[in-house]
Amino acid sequence: MTKKRIFVTGASGCIGHYLSEALIKETNHELYLLVRNPEKLKIDTKVRPGVTVLQGDMQQIQHFADLLKTINVAVLTATAWGGAATFDINVVKTVELLSYLDPAICEQVIYFSTASVLDNNNQPLKEAGELGTDYIRSKYDCLQKIGKLAIAPKITEVFPTLVLGGDNNKPYSHITPGILEVTKYIDFIRFFQADGSFHFIHAQDIATVVRYLIDNPPQENESRQLVLGQAPLTANQAIEEVCAYLGKKISFRIPLSFSLANLLIVLFRIRMAAWDRFCMSYRHFTYQKFVNPDSFGLPNYCATISDVLRISGVQSYR
């Protein structure tokens, strides 16, 4: 396989850790890992030559303009989750970075968006651009802009669904700490039914897919928009799988209707943003087309709820 020069942003994040580790251990590509604080990068970057850690961030991306002109593959995982700089980092600076890449040299850009900006048919979800959090709206806006760039034909857009991951040497994703909370309250949760569905994917499986795409970019007749997720699950299926894993029986279930949920919100004076209310009514964040390692003939690391619980250190009582 031809040796490539690869530029990775957000290398110290959850996904960035798994991806950087895979690229270091499994390839001989020349790597440039952009991090704000090198001390937060908990992987061994000196285990082989050809790995350069760059201290900096997206707001100073102009400092790396000359390097970016020589890059064969750019993997953009860096993101701002909220705050005053969200649109600057997620839109303005991302577009600026892409403008420094030379279409004659750069073979592929793998740009990380979020599945929240897509509808069930994998098309842009207008409510994401109108009602979403700053993070979601910025990702929606960026998608509209990058399609107009000179590098656009080389961009592979990936849309992770609910991301799991993290351990003692890697930062946890936002939802991973909630897994143990679910098991704590399963004796209560198991008696409710909820109308909703979703996908999830572990950061290790994301790294496997991206690692594959780097050496096997989509061909002209293949989609360059890839939703990353395991097979869809209903909320009820997820609860049933957790109960089966923990050896808990479900003797009855009370439907948690939309009207009952709204009543609870009023009674407990729960404050909800416009996006939260939209999600309550939309409920089914599933996608017509999605990929995971199995889509490319590669093994999945975490494909089921049982895998999620096992990896999280939850003891099985089957």
Q: Is 162 helix (H, G, I), strand (E, B) or coil?
A: strand
Identify whether the C-beta of residue 202 lies closer than 8 Å to the C-beta of residue 302.
Answer: yes
Question: Using the 8-state DSSP alphabet, how is residue 91 labeled?
Answer: I
Q: Which two tokens stand for residue 231?
A: 């097979």
Identify whether the C-beta of residue 293 lies closer than 8 Å to the C-beta of residue 229.
Answer: no
CA 74 to CA 58: how far, in whole Å?
13
For residue 291, the model assigns a pLDDT of 98
Task: Sort strands 254-256 and 192-194 into parallel, antiparallel or unpaired.
Answer: parallel
For residue 182, the model assigns a pLDDT of 86
- Indicate the helix (H) or strand (E) that contains 179: helix 178-184
Cα–Cα separations (whole angstroms), residue 145 to 92, 96, 171, 206, 239: 9, 11, 30, 24, 40
For residue 221, the model assigns a pLDDT of 85
Question: Using the 8-state DSSP alphabet, how is residue 114 labeled?
Answer: -
Identify whether the C-beta of residue 111 lies closer than 8 Å to the C-beta of residue 76.
Answer: yes
What is the number of alpha carbons within 13 Å of residue 50 lying toward its C-beta? 15
For residue 93, the model assigns a pLDDT of 97
> Token match 């979403």: residue?
132
- Which residue ranges of the chain lie beneath pLDDT 50? none
Question: Using the 8-state DSSP alphabet, how is residue 318 labeled?
Answer: -
Alpha-carbon Rg of the chain, whole angstroms?
A: 20
Which of these, 15, 17, 23, 25, lies nearest to 42 by C-alpha position? 17
